[in-house]
Structure 1
Amino acid sequence: MQLVRVVVFFAVSIAVGAYLLFDDHVSKLSFDSVDELQTSSTDEDIVSASNKQAKDNQLYIFDTSFGTLISVEGQDRGTLNFRFNMALKKEENSDGKYTGKLFDIQWPDIDSLYSKPKTLTFTTHFKNGAFFETDLLGLPERHPIAMLKPLLNQMSYYEGITDIEVEGGLYTFHYQRLDTLNLTREKIDSQMADLPIDVLDEQEDWRLSHDDLGFPVTMSMSYARRVVYSPQTFVIKQHATAKRVDINTELTWLASEFSGDVNSHLVVQADPEKNTQPPVTENNFATQLAEAAAVITLGKVQRIGTYLVERGAGFVSQLLIDDGLSDDEKSVLIFALEKSGDQEGEWILSQLIEDSNIDEVHRLRSVISIAKMGDVNTAVAVQSLKKAMQGNNLTLSRTALLNIGVLGKRAPALGKEVAGVLADRLEKQDDTYRTLLAINNLATTSMTEQVLPYLESVAPRERSLAVGILGRDRAMSALLEKALLTETHPAVVEKLLSVRSDGMSKDPIFHQSIRGRVLSDTIPDVTREILFNHLIEHSSDTTTLRDLAREMKKFDGLSQSVKDKIEQLLAG
C-alpha cells in the first residue's frame, strides 16, 4: 500500500491536544508487524468487564475508534484507522485516578514497524468532566496508539470558554450544553504559530453525552482542514468516536501492568530493509531519494541521512536550490538529516537555516527538524535557533522562537540553556506572547519568577498562558487561587479553574469568595456562568446553592442551560 508524506505541524502528545494531527514530515510510514510477547502471572486480579456494574465498581468500557484520511489535489493518498475497546477502572480511595486497558485492538491493514500489542495498559485521571495526567507507561510517543492521549482529550468536556494548548498555538472553544447531559462546542478563536502552511478553511463537529455522575457515555468528533503547503493543497479529514458499551468479558488487572515503563518494549523495530539494502552511494542516491519521496520507510530515510552527513552542508545546500528536484525530494533531505542520529546532521541543518539562498520553506523545515533530534542535539541547535530568532526574516524568527521551546523539552540536557534564552527575551519584552508559547512548549517549572508578572498582563491570552505555565508549579496554587478572585476574562477564569489544586475546590471559605464573584456586576455573564457551574460541581451545601440560584435570577444575560440549572436547584 502506498502512503504519502504530509507536513502538519501539530503535536499528538499534548496533554489537552485539540486535534488528532501528525507533527512530522511523515504522516505514515511503511510498517512491519511484530507480535507482542505474552506473559502469564499467578497474582491476577480478574475483573468482570460489564458496564452493568459500572456504578458499583467504577469500571467503564468504551468502543472507540479514530482515523485520518489525507487527500492531495482531490485524490485520496492514504488512510489510517484504528478501533479498540477501552476499559477504565477507578482506583479505590483515589482522587479521580483510573487504570485503563485497551483490548480487541484492530490495526490498519498496513505493515508496521511498530509492535502491534493485543492489549495495552495506561493510567489517567478524571475530574470535573476532563481526563488529565494520562500516562502511557513508557509507550514511545511515535507509536500510533499514543493517539490515545488526544482521544481522551476529545472525551473531555468543560463549561463555558476553555483554551486548548498545542505546540503550534492556542485554540479557544466555547462549550455549550444542549441539555443537562449533552454538550457541543464551537471554536471561537485560534492563535497559531507562524508556519509554512496556509489554512484555507476548517470545519469541526463535536458532541458528547455523559451520565448522571458526569462520566462520558458517547463522544463523536469529525474534523476537516484544507491547507496549502506549497505547492500542493492537502485535505486532512479526521474522526474520533467513543461509545460506552456493555461487554461481558474477563480482563486481567495486575498491579504490575500499571507501573513503571511496562510499554517501553513497544518500540520501533529495526527496518527489515536495513540489513538487506545496500547503503546510499553517489551512484544510487538519485534513485533512493526519488523512492523515498514516493514511499517513505524509516530505514531508507536514515540511510539517506547517513549519506548526506558524509557529503556535507555544501552538497545539501546545492540540492535544495536545484530546480531539478521536487519539493517532496527536498523535504526528504531535511527529514533525513533530522533522522540521521548524527551531530553532523544537526550542524548541517544549522547551516541550512542561515543560508539565505535557500527557499524560505526549506529553512523553516530545517528549523523544525533541528529542534526534534532529541538527545543528539547540542548547543549548536540552541545557538542556531537563537540566531534565527534575531534575524530580519519575521516568519523564520517566530518559528525559531516557538521551536526552541520544543528543543529544550526534547533534549532535557539543553533545557537550562533554552530557559536562559527565553528568560532574556521576556526581560526585554520581545514578542512576549510567542515567548510564553515557547516557554509552555518547554514544559518547565524553572521559569516561575520570569513568568509570574504576566499573570497581570493586559492581554488575556498572555494571562491564560501564564496560568498554564505557573500551574505546573504546586507552590503557585495559593497565588492562582487569589488570581481567580480578581480575574474577569472567561478564558482566563476557565484556565485558572482547570489548574487549581485539589484543595481549592473543597475549601468552604474559597467557595464563599467565589459566590461573591458570581453576584458581582463587574464580571461578564459568561464568566459568571463558569464560576456558578464550578460551585454546582464542587459544593455539597445545597441550601447555599439554592440561595445563590435565587439571586442569580436577576441577571438577564444567562444562557438557557444555566437557567435550567437554576430551576432544577430551586425545584429540588
Structure 2
Amino acid sequence: MCFIFSLYLYLSPSKEHQTTEQQKYYDHKHNAVNDANTASINTLLTTVTETNQITYENTFTMRMGLSENLNNVQSNVVSFRLAFKRINDVSYLGIAYDLKPIYTNSESAVIETDIEQLGFTVSRNINGKITDIDLLGLPQNHPYGMVKHVVSQLSFLPAGTEMRYSLEDGIYHYEYTRESPSRTSRRLIEIDHQNIPEDLINRHNESWYVKHEGTEWPKEMLFNMQREVQFQGRLLAVEQNIESKRVISPELALWSQETLFAQNANAGFTVPMAVPEEENIQIANVVDFQNALMLLDANLDPAVAKAMGLFMLEEQTPDEIMSFLMDDALPTEHHAHIIYALQKAGTPLAEEYLGEIASNADISTLNRTRAIVSSGLFDGASQTSIDSLYNLMSDNEQSIANAASLNLGTIAKRTPKFDQQIGGILLNKLKSDSDPYMALLSISNINNPAYDKYVIPYAKDSRFHVRAAAYSIIARRNNQQNNVLTALLSERHPKVIDSIANTLVKFQNVPVPSTFLPHLRSRITGDGPPVISSRLVKFYLALKVQFNQTDIQFLRGLISSKTLSESDRSDISKALFGL
C-alpha cells in the first residue's frame, strides 16, 4: 500500500511568521547553503513586485477503508494555503503555509512535523501549463510531498491537448477539453502503473475541472479520485478530493526569507514516522468479537486483528473457524478479517490454521487465496507455511497454485534462512513447467542474484511474457547491464521493452555507458513501429542526468517528429526545460 500512503498522508499547518527560536532552528538547519546560491536568490527576490501574489485556499479530503463500508468511514479533512509570486514570465516562487500536524488514517497515530511552511519553485507557461515543481530537496517520501500533487492540479492546457503526468504510482495520460470559455476539464485516457501490478487495481475513476479567465491562474479547481485496490485478499477503496479557490490575501512577509527558496532548502527535513500509541486490546467474549469485526470494517487496525486472532485460537475450534468462512450470509469482508486476524495472531497454531484454510477445497477460492497471502506475510513463517504452500503448488485450481508459488517467494525474501530451500523448489518448477512465467515471477520475489544464471536463458524465450519476466530479474544487476542494454536495442515487443526499461530505472541500474546512447538514438529514429520508439523515448528521458549537448540537440529534433505522439513530444519539452 505504499503507493496510497505516499500520495495521501496529510498536512497540517502553522503560523504565518516564525518565532525567534524557530527561525534560529531553521537557520541552523540550512547553514550549508552557499553564498553564491543565496546571492542568486536575493537577485530573484529583487525582481518580485508587491502586487503579484497569487493565493489559494485548499481543502484536501481523503477516506480509505473496505469498499463495501466506505460510506461509514469518517473523512480526514485538511486545509492549508498556497501562495505564488512571479519572478519572470514563466518562473514563480511558491509557499505552502498554514500547515498543521499530519494525521495518519488511524486516530491513534499522529505524525509530528518540523515544517511550518514549505518553499518551492515552479514554472508556468502562457498556456496555463505548470511544470518543474521543485520542492527543493524535500525527501521523496515526506508527507509534505503532496504539495506537488496539489500544485500540479492547478495546471491546464488548450482543448484537444494530451499530456502525461508522472506521480508516485505511475504515469497518467490525459486529454483536455474546453467546456466553456471559462471552464476546462480533462479526460483520463490511461494509467501506466509502475509501483503496483495492474491486475490488483479493480477500479480507478477521476473527475477534474478548473474555472479560469483566458490563460490566467485558475479561480477555482476541483479534483476527485476514486480507486479500489485488491490488498491481502481485500478490496480497499480510496477517495480523494482536492478543492482550491483563489482568494485575496495580504502580502506574505515570508517572501523576504531567501532561505525558504535556496537550492536544497528542504533537504534537511526529516521524514516523519507514525508512532502509534501502545494499545492493550482484549476480546473476552462473542460480543467483543463481533464489535471487533465492525471496527475492522472501518480501519484495518493490526492490534484489533491480533486480539481477534488470539480470541479465536483460544475459544473456537478449527471447524468453527472454517464454518465462519463458508457462511455466505456473512459479509465477505468479515471473512477477510478472520483470515487477517489469524495472520496477526502470529502463533504456531495460527500458522497451522492458515494452512488448513488454504487447503480446504470446500472454502471459496477467494478465501483460500487470502489464506495463502497471509501465509506468505506471516511474521516468522516456519516450515509449516512452506510445506502448506509447496503442496498447494500442485492444486487443481491454477489460481491457487500460482498464489502458492508467488508467496513461497515472499517467504524466502522475508525469512532469508529459507532462501536456499525455497529457491530449490522454485528452480525445479522453472525447469519442469511448460510455461515458466509464474516460476520466474516467484523467483523475482526472492530477488537473490544467485539464481540469475538459471533465469538468463529465458531472456531469449520465444514468448514475450516469459522474456519480460526474465528481464524483470536480470535487469536489476549491474553486471548484466551491457547484455540488457543490447537486448533493448533489438527487442521487438513493447511489453519486454517496458520490463527492461522500468527495471533498470526502478533498481537504479543507471546511468548507462555513453557509448550506448548513439545506438539508442539510432533505434528511436529508425523505421521500427512508433510504439517501440515511444517506449524507448521514455527510457531515454529517464537518463536526463547524463545528457550532454548531443543528447539535448537530438531531443530538440524529436519535438518536430511526426512519428511520436503529442504526449511524447510534450514529455520531451518538459525534460528539456532549463537545459
TM-score norm. by structure 1 comes to 0.61
Residues 328 and 562 of structure 1: CA distance in aligned 2, closer, same or farther (over 3 Å): closer
Pick aligned residue for 1:117 from 112, 115, 118: 112
Partner of residue 425, structure 2 = 421
Residues 397 and 267 of structure 1: CA distance in aligned 2, closer, same or farther (over 3 Å): farther
Q: Distance in 1 between matches of 2:133 and 2:309?
A: 45
Residues 105, 119 of structure 1: 8 Å contact kept:
no
The one-letter amino acid paired with 2:205 is Q
Q: What is the correspondence of 1:103-252 to structure 2 with a 5 Å cutoff? A: 104-107=99-102, 112-119=107-114, 175=173, 186-187=189-190, 199=202, 202-204=204-206, 222-225=224-227, 236-238=238-240
Residues 203, 223 of structure 1: 8 Å contact kept:
yes
Pick aligned residue for 1:386 from 384, 390, 397: 390
Partner of residue 140, structure 1 = none
Which structure 1 segments of 5+ residues have no match? 1-11, 23-38, 88-100, 122-127, 138-144, 208-218
Pick aligned residue for 2:529 from 519, 524, 531: 524
Residues 356 and 65 of structure 1: CA distance in aligned 2, closer, same or farther (over 3 Å): same
Count of residue correspondences:
471
Q: Distance in 2 between matches of 1:447 and 1:511?
A: 30
Pick aligned residue for 1:437 from 433, 438, 441: 441
Partner of residue 85, structure 2 = none
Q: Distance in 1 between matches of 2:168 and 2:430?
A: 20
Give CA-to-partner distance per residue, 1:354-388, whole Å, 9 cap, x none: 122333332222112222222x2112112212222
Segment drifting more, 511-520 vs 316-325: 316-325
Q: Distance in 2 between matches of 1:21 and 1:457?
A: 41
Residues 411 and 304 of structure 1: CA distance in aligned 2, closer, same or farther (over 3 Å): same
Corresponding residue SS for 1:295: helix
Residues 556 and 396 of structure 1: CA distance in aligned 2, closer, same or farther (over 3 Å): same
1:541 aligns with 2:549: yes
Partner of residue 413, structure 2 = 409
Q: Distance in 2 between matches of 1:431 and 1:130?
A: 46
Partner of residue 13, structure 1 = 2
Once the two structures are TM-superposed, the CA of residue 71 in structure 1 deviates from its matched residue by: 7.9
1:513 aligns with 2:519: yes
Once the two structures are TM-superposed, the CA of residue 511 in structure 1 deviates from its matched residue by: 1.8
Once the two structures are TM-superposed, the CA of residue 340 in structure 1 deviates from its matched residue by: 0.7
Pick aligned residue for 1:349 from 338, 354, 374: 354
Give CA-to-partner distance per residue, 1:542-568, whole Å, 9 cap, x none: 499369939x97x75332456689999
Partner of residue 373, structure 1 = 378
Which structure 2 segments of 5+ residues have no match? 10-21, 46-55, 83-95, 117-131, 154-161, 177-185, 210-220, 246-251
Partner of residue 360, structure 1 = 365
Q: Distance in 1 between matches of 2:166 and 2:392?
A: 29
Segment drifting more, 73-82 vs 475-484: 73-82
Q: Distance in 1 between matches of 2:387 and 2:432?
A: 18
Residues 331 and 545 of structure 1: CA distance in aligned 2, closer, same or farther (over 3 Å): closer
Corresponding residue SS for 1:520: coil
Once the two structures are TM-superposed, the CA of residue 484 in structure 1 deviates from its matched residue by: 1.8
Q: Distance in 2 between matches of 1:499 and 1:86?
A: 38
Partner of residue 93, structure 2 = none
Once the two structures are TM-superposed, the CA of residue 517 in structure 1 deviates from its matched residue by: 1.4
Corresponding residue SS for 1:357: coil
Give CA-to-partner distance per residue, 1:34-79, whole Å, 9 cap, x none: xxxxx998993237999x949999xxxx999573355866971214
Partner of residue 340, structure 1 = 345
Residues 399 and 146 of structure 1: CA distance in aligned 2, closer, same or farther (over 3 Å): farther
Instruction: State, as a whole percentage, how many aligned pairs show the same letter.
Output: 19
Q: Distance in 2 between matches of 1:492 and 1:434?
A: 16
The one-letter amino acid paired with 2:515 is I
Partner of residue 559, structure 1 = 565
Residues 81, 98 of structure 2: 8 Å contact kept:
yes
Once the two structures are TM-superposed, the CA of residue 337 in structure 1 deviates from its matched residue by: 0.8
Segment drifting more, 101-110 vs 512-521: 101-110
Give CA-to-partner distance per residue, 1:328-372, whole Å, 9 cap, x none: 443332221111121221111111111223333322221122222
Q: Distance in 1 between matches of 2:464 and 2:373?
A: 28
Give CA-to-partner distance per residue, 1:475-508, whole Å, 9 cap, x none: 2222222222212333433443444488965644
Corresponding residue SS for 1:339: helix
Pick aligned residue for 1:396 from 380, 396, 400: 400
Q: Distance in 2 between matches of 1:560 and 1:193?
A: 25
Residues 18 and 256 of structure 1: CA distance in aligned 2, closer, same or farther (over 3 Å): closer
Give CA-to-partner distance per residue, 1:379-398, whole Å, 9 cap, x none: 21122122222111223222
The one-letter amino acid paired with 1:348 is Y
Residues 62, 238 of structure 2: 8 Å contact kept:
no
Q: What is the correspondence of 1:50-89 to structure 2 with a 5 Å cutoff? A: 53=41, 67-68=62-63, 76-81=71-76
Q: Distance in 1 between matches of 2:102 and 2:269?
A: 22
Residues 113, 272 of structure 2: 8 Å contact kept:
no
Higher helix share: 2
Q: Distance in 1 between matches of 2:473 and 2:166?
A: 13
Residues 292, 332 of structure 1: 8 Å contact kept:
no
Once the two structures are TM-superposed, the CA of residue 514 in structure 1 deviates from its matched residue by: 1.7
Q: Distance in 2 between matches of 1:86 and 1:412?
A: 47
Once the two structures are TM-superposed, the CA of residue 446 in structure 1 deviates from its matched residue by: 3.8
Once the two structures are TM-superposed, the CA of residue 289 in structure 1 deviates from its matched residue by: 1.9
Q: Distance in 1 between matches of 2:427 and 2:168?
A: 21
Residues 455, 474 of structure 2: 8 Å contact kept:
yes
Give CA-to-partner distance per residue, 1:183-215, whole Å, 9 cap, x none: 9974378896888x9x4x5434699xxxxxxxx
1:305 aligns with 2:301: no
Residues 225, 235 of structure 1: 8 Å contact kept:
yes
Residues 175 and 84 of structure 1: CA distance in aligned 2, closer, same or farther (over 3 Å): same
Residues 409, 441 of structure 1: 8 Å contact kept:
yes
Partner of residue 29, structure 2 = 45
Q: Distance in 1 between matches of 2:275 and 2:469?
A: 34
Pick aligned residue for 1:317 from 313, 322, 327: 322
The one-letter amino acid paired with 1:117 is E
Partner of residue 269, structure 1 = 277
Q: Distance in 2 between matches of 1:253 and 1:451?
A: 45
Partner of residue 4, structure 1 = none
1:456 aligns with 2:445: no
Residues 376, 407 of structure 2: 8 Å contact kept:
yes
Corresponding residue SS for 1:488: coil
Once the two structures are TM-superposed, the CA of residue 109 in structure 1 deviates from its matched residue by: 9.5
The one-letter amino acid paired with 1:237 is E
Q: Distance in 2 between matches of 1:119 and 1:78?
A: 29
Once the two structures are TM-superposed, the CA of residue 467 in structure 1 deviates from its matched residue by: 2.9
Residues 104, 119 of structure 1: 8 Å contact kept:
no
Residues 18 and 529 of structure 1: CA distance in aligned 2, closer, same or farther (over 3 Å): farther
Corresponding residue SS for 2:377: coil
